[in-house]
Amino acid sequence: MLKKKLNLWHVLLIIIILGAIFPILFMVSNSFKTLRDSYGTMLNLIPLHPTFENYSLLNKQVNLLGLTWNTFLMATMVTVGKLLTGLLTAYAFRSYQFKGKMLIYLIFVSTIFVPFTIVMIPNYLVISKLNLLNNIIGVALPQLCDATGIMIFLKTMEKIPNSLIDAAKIDNIPNRKIFFNIVVPILKPSIVSVGAIFFINSWNEYVWPTLILKDKSSFTLPLALQNYISSEGGTNFPLAMALSTIMVVLPLIIYLIFQKYILNSISNSGLK
Amino acid sequence: MQNKNKKFLPFLYLLPTAILLIVFLIVPILYTFYLSFFDWNLIAPTKEFVGMRNYLEVFTDPVNQKVILNTLIYIVFLVVLNFLFPYFISLIVKFFISKMQGAYKVLFFIPSLFSLVVGAMVFTWILNPVSGPLAYVLKNVGISMPNWSNSGILAITVICFITNWKVFGYNFILLLTGLGSIPKNIIDAAKVDGIPKWRLIWNVILPMNQGIAIYVLILTIVQGLQYVFTPINVITTGGPYYGSSNMIYQTYLNAFVLYKTGTSSALAIVTFVIFLILLFIEIRFVERKAKNYA
Amino acid sequence: MKNSKLKKILLMLGIMAMAVVFAGCGKKTSASTVKHITYWHVNAQTQGGAAVDDLVKKFNDTHKNIKVTAKYNPDMYKGLMQNLQSAQASGKVPDITQVGWAYDNYFASNFKYMTPTDAAKKFDGNNKFIDGNFTKRTLSFAKDSKGKLVGLPYSLSTPVLFINKDILSKYNIKEDSLSTWEGIKEASKKIHDQSGKYGLYIQEPGDTWAQQGIMLSHGADIQKGGKAAFASDNGVGAYKYYQEMVTSKLALHTPWAQGMDSFVKGDVAMAFTTIAQASHIKKSASFNASAIAAPHFEGHKTVVPVGGSMLAITAQDSEQQKAAWEFEKWMYKADAAVTWSKGTGYLPPTKVALESSAFKDYVKENPMLDPAVKTLDNAVPWTSFPKKGLQAEQAMIDARDKILSGSDVKSTLGAAQDKINAEQK
């Protein structure tokens, strides 16, 4: 009886996974199809006449290395910025009592609730005044702090026993050292998993970069996709899928490397 | 020295964040608020002061009313798809299966690695109601697929599914993390006492996990409404006749397609107010700890 | 041990981020006698992007004193206008730019530009270039509501009816029966009744270009004396036809990309859309595809709005303007214009290029272009309302969407017309 139930859950979960994975297989499959076959053999998940044509064409039409590099730099800047500001801010809240703490905390947290549309136009003007249009720094700059990070770090820091930090303070260890040698290591799992998520989200970002990056040479990978969805000349679907496939390689590698951290941080803190 | 440090240090730690927030968030919000009282096309040298007219338009214009209603529909769909569904699955993975937990976690997260532009492109292709692979398969079984891009509610459904594809794994992991942080001894104790699982979940686990759950819930709404922007932009551009537009997209449409920055800003402010109400709820339930700081 | 490792990683990432900041700041500055000009275009890699790069490279190779940098603007002419808005706000406008016809008046009243007439007078001393290359009809496309020439026509397109010959011959439909919308309806009925497939798809992008063509070919005016006039009996009649086709499932109603995919897949027999789609259809379709001239209603003649764009000089400095003008003139040389046309699927704008043997050979290889070239003689300027033109276009799009989802044609068109005219004082 119990066994049967267990199996049924597995069936449900596997169906969900198939639903989630199918579009990905479809994407990869189409990236190896010719344009004609992408229409003609829609139901064949394995290409009838597999071809690398799309990839070599892509390589000719856009600067893949440059695009990847831009995307990487942008995502790195955003991730590092968010991690540092997040850790510092959370540490301040964790370790100190000061005037207006509650208010400041609330203001920080409430930034999650700011729709991007409300800051879109003014931020564009600021970035252009700073002469950072067509520059990935212009994309990264307004995104260097993130309340989600602050909240997650703070929640984890609150689990650090006071005695540990008090002991360090009694030993006259400077705050900087407490932060780097005690707090950061304890937070390592969340830093890694939050950082990985920041990086991947930033890697895939679309809306805000489209406003800042107008020059082909400054494009990130998602923006380069726009090249292939021009409806007036028709959409080249297999080419777009080839670019999409290339786009996901690094996030996938990062995920596979840090996946253990992410999963460990889950299972370590809980039950089996 | 210790004392001096203590007063000075926390603000030093807060400084980078504070500067970034003031420059890129607080001042821009105030500027948008200012713009919401003017009629301006983004480049004309002069702005015409129109008082409350833009706000009046947000609430009286039938298109905007439709968009506000759509936003509510989006919220309902997003909560069901991106919150309740992953929560349910995370409970199952945590408590009802013993094997392959690791594999599920790894696999569920994979779509989160993709850009929404990619998701939007792949799904429009797969779901093309006349000529997509799904339509062909259904046709073979004798079912004709509804032309979802002609129906606001169906378009909203498809768009929400696309974001669900991307967000599911992320929310699943977050909720699972929450469930994982529940002390093991409580669950062990329940096991020893022979309390049935569903009762354990209902009476113990869910209340204990309430904090993270409400956090994810609110996040689902606030971020979900922004996530759907990309598929709307790529697939329907808000159509049919604003049927799949929401307040975020409408704000963009007014600002960058119609160049009505006034209406756009007013819409943005109203959206923000709605989000603030959600924030208030969040604080009431999740940040109870914050009271300790007061 | 592990802690210091993490610290190192964080430190390294920090340094890297800093390095990037500095690298970004240390931008090159070079001063020389070479004039640098920027050219803004909308041509994605799928549609002429490579041709633009090609032309710019050729020009730069042959002109040592001018260096052109081409910049692609995503999201077509709308996207380009948005970028131009933003550029104006930050003070960095391009020197020469494409402007879509629908943005003609909007561009003219919001941006600073040099008219081709002024450029010719100032730099050539005569009007030969303009008169020698363009017909009166072609020039009329690029005039604003006051009759002033804003730029020079660069890309021309007309709508054509793409047909799936396999389907048509299977159901015994003769091509010449498709020269009228009435004939198309009959053919669609035949196809739909026997195969369940759709007969027709009419493009539905973020403009009403094709729909205006249908109304014009029913004897309607889109505007009259600067005021919207499409809600006339003829306009209403055209839309009623369209609505009925959709509600009786003879015509497919869906966004543009999906609709074209369905045509290419062979689920729709005919597609009324821009000639720019020709090469995509040729490359993707597994059936015998062809094109015929835009149809008209019985008792009326074919009239279509022209699509595409013009080139406008936005440079402010006289030297820059001169360089831009030189580049522009070079782009209209017959072989450059034909390269352009091949790359984009648009029709070349000049008389010389249209009659060049290079283009004629090209049409021979791609017979789908033939009806589009012929339709140019029936083309009129794309309606661009003098005031709040973008919102006027949106009102027409809204009307289209409403009608296709079943709203009453007469009152919907009437309301849209009133809305537009309320702004045109």
Query: Do residues A38 and A171 share a domain?
Result: no
Residue B193: exposed, middle, or buried by beta-carbon count in 10 A (0-12, 13-18, 19+)? exposed
Q: How confident is the model at residue C32 (pLDDT cuts 50, 70, 90)?
A: low
Please enumerate in sequence order all residues whose Cβ is within 8 A of that of C121, keeping only pairs 6 or more positions apart, or say none.
Answer: C127
Domain boundary assignment for chain C: 35-156+307-372, 159-305+387-423
Q: How confident is the model at residue C26 (pLDDT cuts 50, 70, 90)?
A: very low
Residue B93 lies in a domain: yes
Task: Please tell me the distance from the alpha carbon of residue C198 to that of residue C404, in angstroms, as a whole number.
Answer: 16
Residue B6 lies in a domain: no
Residue C88 pLDDT: 80
Residue C28 pLDDT: 40
Minimal Cα–Cα distance from B45 to chain C, Å? 10
The secondary structure of chain C in percent helix, strand, coil, rounded to multiples of 5, reads: 55, 15, 30
CB-CB under 8 Å, C83 with A214: yes
Residue A178 sits in a domain of what CATH number?
Answer: 1.10.3720.10
Q: Is the pLDDT of residue A214 over 80?
A: no
Query: Do residues A126 and A224 share a domain?
Result: yes
Residue of B nearest to A265 (CA): B177
The secondary structure of chain B in percent helix, strand, coil, rounded to multiples of 5, reads: 80, 0, 20
User: What count of other Cβ atoms lies within 10 Å of the Cβ of residue B139?
Assistant: 14
- Level-2 CATH architecture, domain C159-305+387-423: 3-Layer(aba) Sandwich (3.40)
Query: Do residues A147 and A253 share a domain?
Result: yes
Chain B and chain C share a number of CB contacts under 8 A equal to 65
Residue A45 lies in a domain: yes
Q: What is the pLDDT of residues B153-185, one digit of tens each?
A: 999 999 999 999 999 988 888 888 778 777 777
Query: Do residues A169 and A196 share a domain?
Result: yes
Q: How confident is the model at residue C14 (pLDDT cuts 50, 70, 90)?
A: low
CB-CB under 8 Å, C90 with A125: yes
DSSP state of B145: P
* Same fold yes or no, C35-156+307-372 and C159-305+387-423: yes
Count the domains in chain A: 2
Q: Does A165 or A254 have the greater pLDDT score?
A: A254
Contact C336, C352 (CB under 8 A): no
When mean pLDDT is compared across A55-64, A76-85, A144-153, C74-83, the lowest value belongs to C74-83
Q: What is the pLDDT of residues B54-72, one digit of tens each?
A: 999 999 999 999 999 999 9
Question: Which pairing describes strands C289-293 and C159-164: parallel, antiparallel, or unpaired?
Answer: antiparallel
Residue B91 lies in a domain: yes
Kindly state whether A63 is in contact with chain C, defined as any CB-CB distance less than 8 angstroms.
no
Return the structure tokens found at A107.
Answer: 């203001």
Query: Do residues A46 and A67 share a domain?
Result: no
Residue A57 lies in a domain: no
Q: Which residues of A touch B209 (CB under 8 A)?
A: none
**Does domain C35-156+307-372 sit in CATH 3.20.20.70?**
no
Contact C150, C104 (CB under 8 A): yes
Residue A112 pLDDT: 82
Taking CA atoms, A102 is separated from B293, C53, C238, in Å, by 5, 57, 65
Query: Do residues A27 and A96 share a domain?
Result: no
Query: Do residues A22 and A74 share a domain?
Result: no
Q: Which chains does A contact via 3+ CB–CB distances below 8 A?
A: B, C
CB-CB under 8 Å, B235 with C267: no
CB-CB under 8 Å, B259 with C405: no
Taking CA atoms, C252 is separated from A267, B78, B132, C196, in Å, by 52, 30, 14, 12
Best B67, B128, B253 member to test C by mutation, with max C CBs in 10 Å, is B128
Of A40, A137, A233, which has the smallest distance from its Cβ to C345's Cβ?
Answer: A233
CB-CB under 8 Å, C255 with B131: no
Provide mean pLDDT across the span C395-399.
Answer: 92
Of C253, C261, C404, which has the smallest distance from its Cβ to B128's Cβ?
Answer: C261
Please enumerate in sequence order all residues whose Cβ is within 8 A of that of B217, keeping only pairs 6 or more positions apart, or say none.
Answer: B79, B83
Q: Is the pLDDT of residue C246 over 80?
A: yes
Consecutive H or E run containing C386: none
ipTM of the complex: 0.86
Quick one: how far is CA B225 from the chain centroid?
5
Residue C23 pLDDT: 47
Provide mean pLDDT across the span C110-136.
Answer: 93
Residue A256 lies in a domain: yes
Provide mean pLDDT across the span C331-340.
Answer: 93
When mean pLDDT is compared across A155-169, B127-141, B176-190, C256-270, the lowest value belongs to B176-190
Residue A58 lies in a domain: no
Q: How confident is the model at residue B22 (pLDDT cuts 50, 70, 90)?
A: very high
Residue B218 sits in a domain of what CATH number?
Answer: 1.10.3720.10
Q: Which residues of B touch C404 (CB under 8 A)?
A: 150, 240
DSSP for A11-71? Answer: HHHHHHHHHHHHHHHHHHHHHTS-HHHHHHTTT-SS-SS---HHHHHHHHHS-HHHHHHHH
First to last CA, chain C: 76
Contact B113, B107 (CB under 8 A): no
Minimal Cα–Cα distance from A97 to chain C, Å? 27
Residue A160 lies in a domain: yes
Q: What is the pLDDT of residues B264-283, one digit of tens each?
A: 999 999 999 988 888 788 77
Task: Please tell me the distance from the alpha carbon of residue B220 to that of residue B163, in angstroms, as a whole number.
Answer: 10
Residue A231 pLDDT: 66
DSSP state of B37: T
The model's pTM:
0.86
Minimal Cα–Cα distance from B223 to chain A, Å? 8
Q: Which residues of B touch A144 (CB under 8 A)?
A: 16, 20
Q: How confident is the model at residue B290 (pLDDT cuts 50, 70, 90)?
A: very low
Minimal Cα–Cα distance from A6 to chain B, Å? 6
Quick one: how far is CA A27 from the chain centroid?
20
pLDDT over 90, % of chain A: 38
Task: Please tell me the distance from the alpha carbon of residue C33 to that of residue A90, in angstroms, as a whole number.
Answer: 55
Query: Do residues A2 and A73 share a domain?
Result: no
Provide mean pLDDT across the span C125-154.
Answer: 92
CB-CB under 8 Å, C16 with A226: no
Return the structure tokens found at C59.
Answer: 């020009």
Q: What is the pLDDT of residues A178-194, one digit of tens each?
A: 888 888 888 888 888 88
Residue of A nearest to B21 (CA): A145
Residue C377 pLDDT: 92
- Domain residues for the domain of A95 are 63-268
Count the domains in chain B: 1
- Domain residues for the domain of B82 are 56-286
Query: Do residues A142 and A242 share a domain?
Result: yes
Task: Please tell me the distance from the alpha carbon of residue C110 to that of residue C417, in angstroms, as a whole number.
Answer: 24
Of B44, B235, B241, which has the smallest distance from its Cβ to C401's Cβ?
Answer: B241
CB-CB under 8 Å, A76 with C13: yes
Residue A56 lies in a domain: no
